[in-house]
Amino acid sequence: MAVQEVRVINLPHITDARGKNLLQEIKDTLHITTINHIVTAKVYRFEGISAADADFLARNLLAEEVFQQYKVNEPIIENADKLVEVAYKPGVMNPEAGSILKAAADLGVRGLVAADSSYEYGFFGSVTDADMQLILSRLLVNETVERVVHEKPSSLVIQGRPGRTAVIPIRSMNEAELMELSRDNLFLNLKEMKAIQRYFMALNRDPTDCEIETLAQTWSEHCVHKTFKATLIVGDATKKPLFKRLQEATAAAGHPLVLSAFEDNSGVIDFYEGMALCGKVETHNSPSAIEPYGGAMTGSGGVFRDIMGTGKGARVIASTDMFCFAPPELPASDVPRGCLHPQYLLRRVVAGVRDYGNRMGIPTNNGSVHFHRDFRAKPTIIVGAYGIMPARDAQKGRPQNGDIAVVMGGRTGRDGIHGATFSSGEMTDRTIDVNASAVQIGHAIEEKRMSDALLRARDQNLIRAITDCGAGGFASAFGEMGQQTGVKIHLDRAPLKYSGLAPWEIWLSESQERMALAVAPENLASLLQICHEHNVEATVIGQFTDTGKLEVYYREDMVCELDMEFLHHGLPARTMTARKEPQPVEHKEPDPPRDWEQACTLVMQHLNVCSKEPIVRMYDHGVQGSSALPPFGGVQGDAPNDAVVVAPILGKKYGAVIAHGMNPVLNKLDPYAGSIWAATEAVSNAVAVGANPDELVLIDNFIWPYPDEESLYDLDRAVDACVDFVRATGMPFISGKDSLSSTYRGQDGAVIKIPPVLCVSCFGRIDDVTATVSADFKCIDSTVVLVGRRDIDQMGGSTYYDIYNAVSPRVPVIDMRLLPKTLKTIYRACRNGNIKACHDISEGGLLATLAEMCFGGDTGAQITIPETQRPDYFLFNETAGCFLVEMDNSTDPAQVFGDVPYLVLGRTTNEKRITVCRGPNKLFTVSTHKLFNAWQKPMQEVFGA
């Protein structure tokens, strides 16, 4: 049957926001100024229905007559100088398609077999072919997942015969052939390939493609964390594996709140009244590097499913996002081959996180964005999620022999194949072409329905075990769930998006919005009924056994048979050498500023200090009605808070605090000190809003260059820093993730090591959310006090050094003996009401912290700094673990802070300026209005706010 087309456009007097934003982006990014305006239309296509049915759907579903008009099987944008349509490639998930099919059925339209949607753009003005090609390649079409539609398709149905299962002649391969087999998709080394070869030699047969792909996925760095589990040789010493050190430090801390650490999809702590709180932070760097919108979406969706798959299932209450990019204004010529421009990456990553969280109704309420030139080769994309569940359901479930293997949620397609293995390798100029199929587009509404169904099933005790189909798809989910028993899976029963998938593709696909469950036979009918009521597809695809084997069938053929012992424990143990490479020592100090106003303004508008409000405002951080302390506050609601506080159970005063810390610049200069800084910053952010340091736990995310000996040495130092932090503070790491592929290798052999990132996330419980403290000044003529010990002369990696091209390897060193006492003192002072406002010192130093507090309170401040220290270092030093606090004039700081170092700096004023004196002499005065404008400008320019 013919394909019917519906085009929908805004009425002429209604602003076309999509076209307006695209025009602005073309002017700002591509500097093309000859286009007058752009008109956009939504295109819908249907197969299996008549033109009359298409008209019915247009009137009742697709077009809102108050502000839109439509046409069926006719053009709708007329007289455009250039007209172009952009759509997803066939086989790429289009989230709208499934919703259209469901809505059409609900409206009584029968016979619809396929649907699709796309956008049409009409350009008016002088547009050359070269301009059009630039607009398409840079802004409209990511060739990984999108295409330009040149003609109406004859059919929307993707048809194909299932691929045959191939046998890989691995037993006869020499070393070169083994590595050629591994190079683009398996990402295994020669020792690992030989172990697989020996296994099948012992079986006297060659493996199927399904078996070899299963082993590669299970043994990938992404899934098994080979480097973190390797024995390390550092100098003359043999050291325990990185992961074991973190585990042992957490166990030794013996934190009373921890219910589950490093053994489930997320870490879990005790909450209140029989509830538990869980947290997980993930990375999605490689997919986002080649398709930022889909990569970021599926990063959010995946970490939400980690929460949904913790214990017997948790409800997601919060989302976080932490990003690292090259500067948005980076010249296009500086972008390495095969990489995308950082401004495009930034905008599309933000859009992906926004769309997934907002559509699921999950508040995105904590995050940060960091910039460094060397992220031009690959961004760092970190997403986190936090959830709540009954404490009785917090322990990881185990399948039993005879339990039913169920898959629920989205259907399986070719999208996401090789995601786990591709994310484990270096990025090259070929990655965007060779691994395009590893990227996918998420469907947030599908996941929302699935989440609701799972929570009902959990509450009715229908789930024995659950995990998400993340990296590796069914292979990872059922392979891991059946590790202690055995499992038999029938791939021909799995619901597919379209025909034509080979068995190994069904098995390895990472299509989103799917969960794997183990269900007792007597509970199956009840589970399927709940799924039906929530419009969630659920299918029995196998059974857990007692064979100790992974058995995978397609129809009557066994396409994979592996011993669970070999699959999960046959990976050759690694011993890796870490070596410190001598680095050239540069030290160049700046002269003290002659123009202090300029120095302050440059610091405030630095990309690592400036306001990220235009990004935050795209996220709905109040959607669940739980926000007790939002990301931004103050008189005008535009000043940042250090952490967020949510009250996830309505009507209860208790809640959860969420914060994080990271500084790639410091990690690059000194991985140990930079890692201590990150952990200190995370905890300081939480304590600054009133959290009790005794009720906080941590999550680590190591995003590191590919582990050669030099990078491994730096990673070893970073893990030592984390262990030392746990020992000093008693705060344990209870979950984490490593991503060791932040290296770009160009066609010419050039190597870019992306700056190493340790992101430390911090979360915990607060018994009374009304007792928390925000960062904005509250009163005029309050006392401003600096609390904590700063390492004033260590300025390496600071914003101030960066703007004046100064360099030093010496970064701020935090006094770990004093830090716990400082944190507890700040907490007690907040809880006792001695502190009206509190803001920790981080990027930009004391001056930036003071300015942000003034922005929030709509006040000024007058402070006096010591004459004995360099004034610029005093104002711009970035030692973490220190705080600026506002106190009532009647409060004696000595009584509050005791022997914790503090310094009374001055007072708040009603004049909208900051005045800094040095001893009796005024050093400078700067307008808070000027600082505020400089602080807001960079992201407003990027996002057009």
Among residues 225, 255, 284, 534, the one annotated as catalytic is: 284
Among residues 222, 341, 443, 606, the one annotated as catalytic is: 222
Asked whether residue 280 is marked as a ligand-binding residue, the answer is yes
Q: Which tokens sit at 759?
A: 């992101």
Q: Which tokens sit at 762?
A: 């911090």
Asked whether residue 736 is marked as a ligand-binding residue, the answer is yes
In angstroms, rounded to a whole number, what is the distance separating the alpha carbons of residues 104 and 57?
Answer: 7
Of all residues in the chain, what percent are helix, strand and coil, respectively (each to 5)? 35, 25, 40
CA angle centred on 742, ends 741 and 746, rounded to 5° = 100
How does DSSP assign 707-718, residue by residue? --HHHHHHHHHH
Asked whether residue 549 is marked as a ligand-binding residue, the answer is no
Give the containing element (helix H, strand E) for 542. strand 538-544
In angstroms, rounded to a whole number, what is the distance separating the alpha carbons of residues 806 and 591?
Answer: 9
User: Torsion angle, CA of 618/623/629/630, rounded to 10 degrees?
Assistant: 0
Q: Has 222 been annotated as catalytic?
A: yes
Cβ contacts of residue 587 below 8 Å, gap of 6+? 807, 808, 809, 810
Cβ contacts of residue 305 below 8 Å, gap of 6+? 265, 447, 468, 470, 513, 515
Query: Which one, of 823, 374, 851, lies nearest residue 603 by Cα?
Result: 851
In angstroms, rounded to a whole number, what is the distance separating the alpha carbons of residues 728 and 487?
Answer: 44
Asked whether residue 451 is marked as a ligand-binding residue, the answer is no
Asked whether residue 468 is marked as a ligand-binding residue, the answer is yes
The answer to whether 693 and 824 have CB atoms below 8 angstroms apart is yes
End-to-end Cα separation, the chain, in angstroms: 46
The answer to whether 118 and 88 have CB atoms below 8 angstroms apart is yes
In angstroms, rounded to a whole number, what is the distance separating the alpha carbons of residues 325 and 347?
Answer: 11
Asked whether residue 282 is marked as a ligand-binding residue, the answer is yes
Asked whether residue 305 is marked as a ligand-binding residue, the answer is yes
Q: In the 8-state DSSP scheme, what is residue 513?
A: S
Asked whether residue 274 is marked as a ligand-binding residue, the answer is no
In angstroms, rounded to a whole number, what is the distance separating the alpha carbons of residues 252 and 244?
Answer: 12
In angstroms, rounded to a whole number, what is the distance separating the alpha carbons of residues 215 and 560?
Answer: 10
Asked whether residue 192 is marked as a ligand-binding residue, the answer is no
Asked whether residue 588 is marked as a ligand-binding residue, the answer is no
In angstroms, rounded to a whole number, what is the distance separating the alpha carbons of residues 311 and 778?
Answer: 43
Asked whether residue 64 is marked as a ligand-binding residue, the answer is no
CA 619 to chain centre: 14
In angstroms, rounded to a whole number, what is the distance separating the alpha carbons of residues 33 and 27?
Answer: 6
Q: Has 929 been annotated as catalytic?
A: no
- Reported as half-sphere exposure (CB side, CA atoms, 13 A), residue 540 has a value of 14
Asked whether residue 745 is marked as a ligand-binding residue, the answer is no
Query: Which one, of 409, 410, 507, lies nearest residue 457 by Cα?
Result: 409
The CA–CA distances, whole Å, from 839 to 265, 548, 725, 778, 853 equal 33, 55, 22, 13, 7
The catalytic residues are: 222, 284
Binding residues: 280, 282, 305-306, 440, 468, 510-512, 700, 736, 739
Binding residues for substrate: 305, 440, 510-512, 739
Binding residues for ATP: 280, 700, 736
